[in-house]
Structure 1
Amino acid sequence: MADTEQIAIVQLSVEDALAGLALSTEAHWNQNEADWRFFLTRGNVFGVRDKDCHLIASAALLPYSSGNAWISMVLVTTNWRRRGLATKLVDACLAVAAKQGLTAWLDATPAGATVYGPLGFKPTLQLRRLRFENTMPPKAKARPSLLPCGIEKFTERDRLTMGFDRGPLLREISGRSSARLLSNGDAAALVRDGRKARHLGPLFAESPEHALAMVNEVVWCETGPLLIDAVYEQVEFLKGLIGSGWTIERPFQRMRFGPTTAPATELPFAVAGPEYG
């Protein structure tokens, strides 16, 4: 095997979307080609290729507003793991963030958190990914209680929960042909396609009861499996999901590298996903 000290880190382009998708598919992640294309056109995506020019590792830095950025898509193909490639690629992302004066965030698996902590990342909130198989038959139409949500209103709710604006991201995702931006009273949520399951989030509401009601309405009018990345600190909401038949797949730890740029004034019930924050 090649010495990883001699392996070059390269910047990827949109032509690498399918190669990136192959990496996340191997890892059983839910990202699809549209997600990869967004990162490759809007972010800084770094990779490592083997001697045959096959993509064997990746990491992405997606800039947001107000001096913030998200690190994700940290992937290494099976035969090249435990050789320091992920750390080298995250270092490349952090170098860009430092040069641009950005605070970097990420959502880490438990194994990832043990790597990122020594690099200087500090833990913030916790997440739990849950899955609902949703074997109910197709419905003719959505219930009347579910209404379209305007993108400007949704973006403002997201800004309150993140502390910074993610308008370009939310406009792109909600504009995909299969995505739906929904409201139910004071609750609002984004539902979008993934490779393995539809993803529900971000989700905002004034109470756990309203958040659960929104989830139940979405389940009623969707078919096939659903994923949600619930905020662990929303205890009653998480209990309600489990009581409704959702099962926990894995935890995530949100972490920050650098100072807090702007405090969030509202806690979401679910987030956009570990790749987007």
Structure 2
Amino acid sequence: MGAIDHLAIETLGADDACDGLALSGEARWNQNEADWRFFLTRGTVFGIRDGDGHLIATAALLPYSSGNAWISMVLVTQSWRRRGLATKLLDTCLDAAAKQGVTAWLDATPAGATVYGPLGFAPTLELRRLRFAGSATAPELASDGNLDEMIARDRHAMGFDRSALLRELSRRSGSQLISHGSAMALIRGGRTARHIGPLFADDAGSATALVETIAQSETGPILIDVVSEHDELLMNLTNSGWSIERPFQRMRFGRATIQNAEPPIAVAGPEYG
């Protein structure tokens, strides 16, 4: 740990979006510059630079309502990994969460979960990330969803309000709100793929029909992070050409703040919850 003791942690600003994007791009994550700017302006992003001033590690704490916050963008550049930088930044996020009196959540990769568990994070639900290559023919899909309805459904599903996030995501260039029967989803752009989520539906059939409608309207790759308990939807998607890319483990640090919440069919993304 001595090799990193001299490296100071700083709070990053909006001008650091491109440096953050370089880190997530190196890790082959899907976040784009708009995602980074949201974290840098709506949350607190902690960073560490090397002796030459290059950003080498980050971690973000994004506050939501009702005493909840999301930890994400935990990144370390390749040449500085396995030296304790991620743990150092995670501890900083947890200290900030404690001072704010909020419960911290995160969606961890399998490797990350092995680190976060011993630190006191408790597992909750699991996610499965699926990828679709895109359709050869892509008829135009018109937005027909109602943002206020999505915000209400998201509040019911998450147990707290994320209206600022959903309004910002929906206003981005290329974003769409699509509905089909009881199902509704937000589609937005990413660095390398479009992303579906959050997605709400009363049943697997409606969710499947909506996702397939979206898939046939996209020529490029698409990602969706499905709550793993929705076995029928996962089976339907894999049978229609989607591939499971990786799992995520949702984890919580601190007291439970959510009562009787019903998670969405698919989430907004591991960076947002």
**If the TM-score is normalised by the length of the shorter chain, which range does it land in?**
over 0.9
How does the TM-score come out when normalised to structure 2?
Answer: 0.97
Q: CA offsets per residue over residues 60-99 of structure 1, 9 Å max, x none?
A: 0000000000000000000000000000101111111000
| Unpaired segments ≥5 residues, structure 2 | none
When the two structures are superposed, what TM-score results if normalisation uses the length of structure 1?
A: 0.96
Q: Deviations over 1:155-174 (max 9, x none)?
A: 11111111111000000000
1:101 equivalent in alignment to 2:101 = yes
Query: Which residue number corresponds to residue 76 of structure 2?
Result: 76
For residues 56 and 207 of structure 1, the distance between their equivalents in structure 2, rounded to whole angstroms, comes to 44
For 2:129 and 2:102, the matched residues in 1 are separated by: 27
State the distance in 2 between where 1:130 and 1:219 align. Answer: 12
Question: Distance between the aligned counterparts of 1:122 and 1:81, measured in 2?
Answer: 24
**Cα distance, 1:183 vs structure 2:** 1.0
The code of the aligned residue for 2:146 comes to G
Q: How much identity, in percent, do the aligned residues show?
A: 64
What's the CA shift for 1:2? 7.7
CA RMSD, 1 decimal: 1.3
Deviation at residue 151 of structure 1 after TM alignment: 1.2
> Are positions 1:248 and 2:241 aligned together?
no
Deviation at 1:147, TM superposition (A): 5.3
1:117 aligns with 2:117: yes
Q: 1:135 to 1:214 in 2, by over 3 A?
A: closer
Residue identity matched to 1:199: H
Moved more, 180-189 or 19-28: 180-189
Matches within 5 A, 1:139-158: 139=139, 141-142=140-141, 148-158=144-154
Aligned partner letter, 2:128: R
Residue aligning to 1:258: 254
SS of alignment partner, residue 178 of structure 2: strand
- Consecutive unaligned residues of structure 1, counting only runs of 5 or more, are none
Q: How does 1:212-227 map to 2 (within 5 A)?
A: 212-227=208-223
Please give the alpha-carbon distance, in whole angstroms, between the structure 2 residues aligned to 1:264 and 1:34: 32
Equivalence map 1:39-188=2 (5 Å) = 39-139=39-139, 141-142=140-141, 148-188=144-184
- The residue identity in structure 2 corresponding to 1:170 is L
Structure 2: how far apart are the matches of 1:104 and 1:264? 18
AA in 2 matched with 1:169: L
d(CA) in 2 for partners of 1:147, 1:181: 5
The structure 1 segments of at least 4 consecutive aligned residues displaced by more than 6 Å after TM superposition are none
Q: Which stretch shows the higher mean deviation, 260-269 or 91-100?
A: 260-269
Q: 1:2 to 1:135 in 2, by over 3 A?
A: farther
1:265: Cα distance to partner? Answer: 3.0
CA contact (8 A) 1:162 1:264 kept: no
How much does 1:264 deviate? 4.3
1:267 Cα deviation (Å)? 2.9
Aligned residue number for residue 29 of structure 2: 29
- Asked if 1:234 is matched to 2:258, the reply is no
